[in-house]
Structure 1
Amino acid sequence: MTILLVEDDEVDIMNVKRAFKKNNISNPLVVAHNGLEALEVLRNDLPDAPKPKIVLLDLNMPKMGGIEFLKEIRKDANLSSLSVFVMTTSNEDSDKVEAFNLNVAGYILKPLSLDRFIAAVSTLNSYWTLCEFPH
């Protein structure tokens, strides 16, 4: 199952890749640096292109932020059922409320330490490994 990481910060991208490696997560990881790039990946109709079923989404990004991206995929019949986990530094209640109103599967604050981040990714992996997704 392919996972789409929507993140503009290169350090956070490296941390996610490191956390995947430390947790022996072998799922293919596709990276988009903002919501517009993520939409391109998700709407790509090439037969060889992997179709992500899970999105790890930052909220604060240039061009198209996370909330705007969520609004766009939720009104797209082909993308509306994607499982989206917000991983952000934003601890604003308004962001949490808006994200959950757009049916996110979870809202995770990015931990400051790499060890806590690796543990958070491990928990996510346990969750999506247990879940059944339609084909």
Structure 2
Amino acid sequence: MINSNILFVDNSKVGIERAKKAFTTLGIENTLHFAENDVEAWDMLNGNHKISPVPKILLIDINQEGVNGIDLINKIRSHEDLKSILVFVITSIDNEKNRSEALNLNIAGYIHKPIDNDNIDFFSILYNYWNIIEYSSEKK
């Protein structure tokens, strides 16, 4: 995955700082964008603050208060230019209803956040995965 944008949707300041630190430590050069909720994320995907190029990967905690992640994933899956985004749900809360709904929306994975402060191994595994899969061609 060369020079791809990644959108991380999480309203936890600690979670965002840990992700930034892990990306820096691992030398991941992808551009990491952050949104605090689904409304802000949608604006970054299809609104006035659109990220270009469109992110290839979306990381979202659908169980955070104030984040309607299922709605966002539904919008992404029904949008012609966004439906190929790889969506990973990353959460620390067990919610069977949300897990089932997310899996039915063809997400790439439903993953539990690391409990400890060390996100390096967690993001390293994700990064290795992102680099071995093939992506669809960019639209011109």
Q: TM-score, normalised by structure 2?
A: 0.86
Q: Secondary structure at the match of 2:134?
A: coil
1:81 maps to a residue whose letter is: S
Determine if contact 2:54/2:82 at 8 Å carries over to the other structure. no
2:140 paired with 1:129: no
Q: Secondary structure at the match of 2:98?
A: helix
Q: Which structure has more helix as a fraction of its residues?
A: 1
Over the aligned positions, Cα root-mean-square deviation in angstroms equals 1.9
2:97 paired with 1:82: no
Number of residue-to-residue matches in the alignment:
134
Q: Is the alpha carbon distance of 1:51 and 1:93 closer, same or farther for their aligned partners in structure 2, counting shifts above 3 Å?
A: same
- How far residue 2 of structure 1 moved from its aligned partner, in angstroms, is 0.7
Q: Secondary structure at the match of 2:106?
A: coil
Q: Which runs of 5+ in 1 are unaligned?
A: none
1:15 maps to a residue whose letter is: R
Determine if contact 2:43/2:49 at 8 Å carries over to the other structure. no
Partner of 1:37: 40
**Aligned residues: percent identity?**
38
Partner of 1:119: 121
1:101 to 95, 99, 104: 104
Determine if contact 1:59/1:90 at 8 Å carries over to the other structure. no
Structure 1 segments of 4+ aligned residues over 4 angstroms from their partners: 44-48
Determine if contact 2:37/2:67 at 8 Å carries over to the other structure. yes
For 1:35 and 1:46, the matched residues in 2 are separated by 13
2:69 to 66, 71, 94: 66
For 1:42 and 1:65, the matched residues in 2 are separated by 15
